[in-house]
């Protein structure tokens, strides 16, 4: 994945760049908004990671300029603000996702993955059946089967599974689940999400020889064939 | 503005009291001055009677009774308006000369003065007139009495007192009318100021009072209030700047530390990895308390909700309850929502969700298994006729002791008995209160016998 990173903090920038390179992405770094805009105009990127508060041209202005120029590359804003109105403001100006500093690197990686896939798999939005190994979901009939055995799900469990299946093989964080499955942006004080996931796991994995839904320690969850790690 | 409000106002009452007191004092002063002049008039009258008697005495001693009679006849012939009246009697009391009747019924005053009433023929009308008289013995049993009427003095006194009294009433009425208008004006200006101030309270500290339209002391007051608002705004901006700085300067290095640790963990061996994992978790805890504190500060120091979107409370509560249902079920807690009809309020969906999630989180955390939690939603009408949404979350847990109920909203405060037993950083309820107040609402804690009853009210 080709990533443009615009971040004025040297250390944070270094860290993100190193992490991105470590997982196999190609990363171009710029340290202010104006340079970021020039870089974006000169090359094509899959995803951009843009800091909100920067000298010269701030992140929101940069995104505005990009969108005005017809560039629709998905953008994640990084911000140390993250207060009540800021998120809305950031998303309004054309960003696709908003991540508040401090964030855990897996969170950023997971979100980048999702954004990238969303663009490249945009054609797949209209599909009517989702399949992950031997688990299938009929979106029209809202029907879930594994190895020809019907699985009955509650509405929320269905939405949860749908989201996981749409992002099969990717790590999905708790915050992402809260945002997309429940539709709220908040910090749970306890492990509420874990309970929901373990309920779902009971239904789709119990009694089958291999588990599909796994917990990735310190990161989130992944649906798909077990990896060796 | 109602007349009743003006009449009740302090300004009006003050002016009425002042006008009443002023009129009374002026009346009393003028009255006293006039009484003094009346007294002087009477004294002059008395002195003139005495000197007339002296003249008569001199005439008697020189020309005896015939002279006196002659003198009196001369005096009566000269028809001056203010003249003396005479009566001369002999030893038997038989009238010899003079124009007074022989025996009018006298009243005796001090010092030998006599008073009587007599009808005088004046322009063909008989009018009762008051007289003041003094008798004197001339010798040989003869007695002379000189009298003078004082109707003019009495008339003058009556005129003056009536005029004074009328002036008093007129002054009082004019004063009260003037007071009414001046109080109405003051009240009007104060009311306008009140409206402005309440607009600022709603809108936030960046608003200012309109100074141009005001005059005099209200203008000065408005200017001072604007200065105060400016200081307040500067302070608020200061707080916001400080928290932004903290956010930027402290959270960023903390994040770097956490990320470095996470890199280290990925490269480290199994046993060290576990230890690093725990440090990272601690780091995350620290960061999340930090974020919570900053969030509370921002909610408390910033301006309140402006506008906001329509939030359907029943749907929101259903989502919160649904989110916590598995957790409650896991601990065999009966969790029920009672919301008969949809209700829409203005607010920030994510914040409201956070608030109810925190409350349910606490309820689930502190309720022992086989307990129950109720979430009830209702509306009530307030005294001023506006509707308020009311959400009550009650549980069968240990509750919070009465003395601790105010403290639990403080940041980092934790009920002593729950310290160590339950996880948490003591910010959940502070955030709940900050969110409720941000929405112009309130949170109250009460006893559920047994358990805790949290009542959230939103406009």
Q: What's the rounded mean pLDDT across residues B3-8?
A: 82
Q: What are the chain A neighbours of B277 within 8 Å (beta carbons)?
A: 217-218
Residue-averaged pLDDT of chain A: 82
Q: State which of A170-179, B378-387, B399-408 shows the largest mean pLDDT.
A: A170-179
Lowest-confidence region among A71-80, B79-88, B121-130 = B121-130
B426 vs B411: CA distance, rounded Å: 6
Cβ neighbourhood burial of B286 (10 Å; 0-12, 13-18, 19+)? middle
CATH 3.30.450 correct for B7-157: yes
pLDDT more than 90, % of chain B: 3
What is the reported pLDDT for B418? 61
pLDDT at B132 over 60: yes
Interior/surface letters B17-54, b for 16+ CB within 10 angstroms, e for the rest: eebeeebeeebeebeeeeeeebeeeeeebbeebeebbe
* CB distance B62 to B82 below 8 Å: no
* CB distance B334 to B371 below 8 Å: yes
Q: What is the pLDDT of residues B354-371, one digit of tens each?
A: 999 999 988 888 888 888
pLDDT at B227 over 80: yes
In this structure, which CATH number among 1.10.3720.10, 3.40.50.2000, 3.30.70.600, 1.10.10.10 belongs to the domain A127-223? 1.10.10.10
B279 vs A99: CA distance, rounded Å: 23
Helices (H), B309-414: 313-330, 349-366
CA distance B434 to chain A (A): 12
Q: A190 vs B327: CB contact, 8 Å cut-off?
A: yes
Interior/surface letters A151-185, b for 16+ CB within 10 angstroms, e for the rest: bebeebbbbbbbbbbbbbebbbbbbbbbbbbbebb
Which CATH superfamily includes the segment(s) A2-122? Response regulator (3.40.50.2300)
Whats the size of chain A, residue-wise? 229
* CB distance B429 to B409 below 8 Å: yes
Strand partners of residue B118: B129
Q: What's the rounded mean pLDDT across residues B222-230?
A: 87
pLDDT at A96 over 80: yes
Q: B351 vs A81: CB contact, 8 Å cut-off?
A: no
What is the reported pLDDT for A91? 75
Q: What's the rounded mean pLDDT across residues B35-60?
A: 88
pLDDT band at A202 (very low <50, low <70, confident <90, very high): confident
B164 vs B162: CA distance, rounded Å: 5
Q: What is the pLDDT of residues B293-349, one digit of tens each?
A: 777 777 776 666 666 778 888 989 999 998 998 888 888 888 888 888 888 888 888
Q: What is the pLDDT of residues A174-186, one digit of tens each?
A: 888 888 888 888 7
- CB-nearest to B327 from A15, A156, A192 is A192
A224 closest CA partner among A135, A149, A156: A135
Residue ranges per structural domain of chain B: 7-157, 216-301, 309-458
Q: What is the pLDDT of residues A25-36, one digit of tens each?
A: 888 888 888 888
B415 vs B228: CA distance, rounded Å: 38
pLDDT band at B261 (very low <50, low <70, confident <90, very high): confident
- CB-nearest to B252 from A81, A101, A184 is A101
- Of all helices (H) and strands (E), which one includes residue B177? helix B151-203
Q: Tell me the helices (H) and strands (E) count for chain B, helix number first.
A: 9, 13
Contacts of B352 (CB under 8 A, 6+ apart): B311, B313, B316, B435, B439, B458
A102 prior amide bond cis, ω within 30? yes
* CB distance B166 to B144 below 8 Å: no
Other Cβ atoms closer than 10 A to A202: 12
Best of A23, A83, A158 to disrupt the B interface (most B CBs within 10 Å) is: A83
CATH number corresponding to B309-458: 3.30.565.10
Q: B350 vs A185: CB contact, 8 Å cut-off?
A: yes
β-strands A97-100, A75-79: how paired?
parallel
Q: A15 vs B256: CB contact, 8 Å cut-off?
A: yes
pLDDT band at B21 (very low <50, low <70, confident <90, very high): very high
pLDDT more than 90, % of chain A: 0
pLDDT at B143 over 80: yes
What is the reported pLDDT for B422? 64
* CB distance A10 to A34 below 8 Å: no
**Residue with more model confidence, A95 or B237:** A95
What is residue B353's DSSP assignment? Answer: H
* CB distance A63 to A94 below 8 Å: yes
Q: What are the chain A neighbours of B280 within 8 Å (beta carbons)?
A: 218
Residue-averaged pLDDT of chain B: 81
Q: What are the chain B neighbours of A199 within 8 Å (beta carbons)?
A: 326
pLDDT band at B173 (very low <50, low <70, confident <90, very high): very high
Q: B358 vs A190: CB contact, 8 Å cut-off?
A: no
Q: A188 vs B361: CB contact, 8 Å cut-off?
A: yes
What is residue B368's DSSP assignment? Answer: P
Under DSSP, is residue B419 helix (H, G, I), strand (E, B) or coil?
A: coil
B452 closest CA partner among B389, B422, B408: B408
B450 prior amide bond cis, ω within 30? yes
Q: A81 vs B244: CB contact, 8 Å cut-off?
A: yes
Question: Hey, what are B77's tokens?
Answer: 């012939």
What is the reported pLDDT for B423? 65
Q: What is the pLDDT of residues A103-118, one digit of tens each?
A: 777 788 888 888 887 7
Q: A192 vs B280: CB contact, 8 Å cut-off?
A: no
Q: What's the rounded mean pLDDT across residues B161-181?
A: 88
Other Cβ atoms closer than 10 A to B272: 12
pLDDT at B1 over 60: no
**Residue with more model confidence, B417 or B448:** B448
Best of B323, B364, B366, B423 to disrupt the A interface (most A CBs within 10 Å) is: B323
B204 closest CA partner among B321, B294, B301, B278: B301
pLDDT band at B350 (very low <50, low <70, confident <90, very high): confident
B244 vs B297: CA distance, rounded Å: 10
What is the reported pLDDT for B205? 64
Residue ranges per structural domain of chain A: 2-122, 127-223
**Residue with more model confidence, B75 or B127:** B75
What is the reported pLDDT for B17? 92
pLDDT at A84 over 60: no
CATH number corresponding to B216-301: 1.10.287
**ipTM confidence score:** 0.77
pLDDT band at A123 (very low <50, low <70, confident <90, very high): very low
pLDDT band at A229 (very low <50, low <70, confident <90, very high): very low
**Residue with more model confidence, B298 or A5:** A5
- Shortest CA distance from B318: residue in chain A: A182
Q: B350 vs A104: CB contact, 8 Å cut-off?
A: no
B305 vs B203: CA distance, rounded Å: 9
Interior/surface letters A38-70, b for 16+ CB within 10 angstroms, e for the rest: ebbeeeebbbbbbbbbbeebbbbebbebbeeee
């Amino acid at each position: 994945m080709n990533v443009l990173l615009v971040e004025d903090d040297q250390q944070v920038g270094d860290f993100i760049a190193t992490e991105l390179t470590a997982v196999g992405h190609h990363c171009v770094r710029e340290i202010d908004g104006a340079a970021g805009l020039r870089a974006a105009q000169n090359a094509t990127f899959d995803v951009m990671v843009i800091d909100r508060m920067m000298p010269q041209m701030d992140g929101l202005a940069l995104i505005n300029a990009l969108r005005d120029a017809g560039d629709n590359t998905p953008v994640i804003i990084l911000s140390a603000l993250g207060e009540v109105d800021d998120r809305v403001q950031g998303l309004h100006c054309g960003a696709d996702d908003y991540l508040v500093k401090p964030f855990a690197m897996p969170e950023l990686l997971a979100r980048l993955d999702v954004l990238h896939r969303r663009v490249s798999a945009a054609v797949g939005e209209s599909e009517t059946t989702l399949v992950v190994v031997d688990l299938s979901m009929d979106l029209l009939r809202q029907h879930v089967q594994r190895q020809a055995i019907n699985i009955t799900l509650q509405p929320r469990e269905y939405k949860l599974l749908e989201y996981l299946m749409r992002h099969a093989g990717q790590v999905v964080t708790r915050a992402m689940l809260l945002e997309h499955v429940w539709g709220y942006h908040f910090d749970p004080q306890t492990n509420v999400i874990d309970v929901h996931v373990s309920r779902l796991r009971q239904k789709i994995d119990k009694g089958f020889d291999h588990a599909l839904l796994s917990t990735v320690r310190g990161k989130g969850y992944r649906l798909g064939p077990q990896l060796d790690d | 503005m109602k007349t009743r409000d003006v009449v009740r106002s302090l300004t009006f009452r003050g002016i009425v009291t002042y006008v009443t007191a002023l009129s009374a004092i002026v009346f009393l002063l003028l009255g006293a001055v006039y009484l003094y002049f009346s007294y002087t008039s009477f004294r002059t009258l008395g002195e003139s009677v005495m000197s007339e008697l002296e003249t008569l005495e001199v005439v008697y001693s020189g020309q005896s009774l015939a002279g006196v009679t002659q003198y009196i006849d001369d005096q009566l012939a000269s028809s001056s308006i203010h003249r003396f009246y005479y009566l001369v009697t002999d030893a038997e009391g038989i009238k010899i000369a003079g124009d007074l009747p022989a025996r009018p019924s006298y009243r005796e005053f001090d010092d030998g003065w006599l008073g009587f009433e007599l009808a005088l023929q004046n322009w063909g009308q008989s009018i009762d007139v008051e007289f003041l008289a003094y008798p004197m013995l001339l010798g040989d049993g003869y007695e002379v009495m000189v009298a003078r009427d004082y109707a003019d003095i009495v008339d003058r006194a009556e005129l003056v007192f009536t005029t004074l009294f009328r002036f008093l009433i007129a002054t009082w009425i004019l004063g009260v009318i003037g007071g009414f208008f001046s109080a109405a004006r003051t009240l009007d200006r104060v009311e306008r100021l009140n409206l402005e101030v309440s607009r600022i309270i709603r809108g936030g500290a960046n608003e200012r009072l309109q100074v141009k339209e005001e005059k005099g002391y209200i203008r000065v007051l408005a200017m001072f209030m604007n200065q105060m608002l400016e200081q307040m705004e500067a302070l608020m901006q200061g707080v916001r700047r400080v928290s932004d700085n903290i956010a930027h300067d402290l959270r960023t290095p903390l994040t770097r530390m956490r990320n470095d640790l996470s890199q280290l963990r990925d490269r480290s061996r199994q046993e060290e990895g576990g230890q690093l994992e725990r440090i990272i978790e601690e780091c995350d805890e620290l960061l999340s308390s930090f974020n919570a504190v900053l969030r509370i500060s921002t909610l408390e120091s910033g301006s309140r909700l402006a506008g906001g979107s329509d939030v359907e409370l029943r749907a929101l509560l259903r989502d919160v309850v649904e989110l916590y249902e598995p957790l409650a079920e896991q601990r065999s807690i009966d969790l029920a929502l009672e919301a008969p009809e949809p209700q829409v309020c203005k607010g920030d969906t994510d914040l409201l969700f956070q608030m109810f999630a925190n409350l349910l989180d606490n309820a689930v955390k502190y309720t022992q298994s086989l307990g129950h939690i109720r979430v009830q939603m209702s509306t009530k009408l307030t005294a001023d006729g506006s509707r308020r949404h009311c959400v009550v979350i009650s549980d069968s847990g240990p509750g919070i002791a009465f003395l601790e109920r105010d403290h639990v909203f403080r940041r980092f405060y934790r009920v002593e008995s729950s310290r160590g037993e339950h996880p948490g950083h003591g910010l959940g309820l502070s955030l709940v209160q900050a969110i409720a107040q941000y929405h112009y609402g309130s949170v109250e804690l009460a006893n559920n016998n047994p358990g805790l009853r949290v009542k959230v009210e939103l406009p």
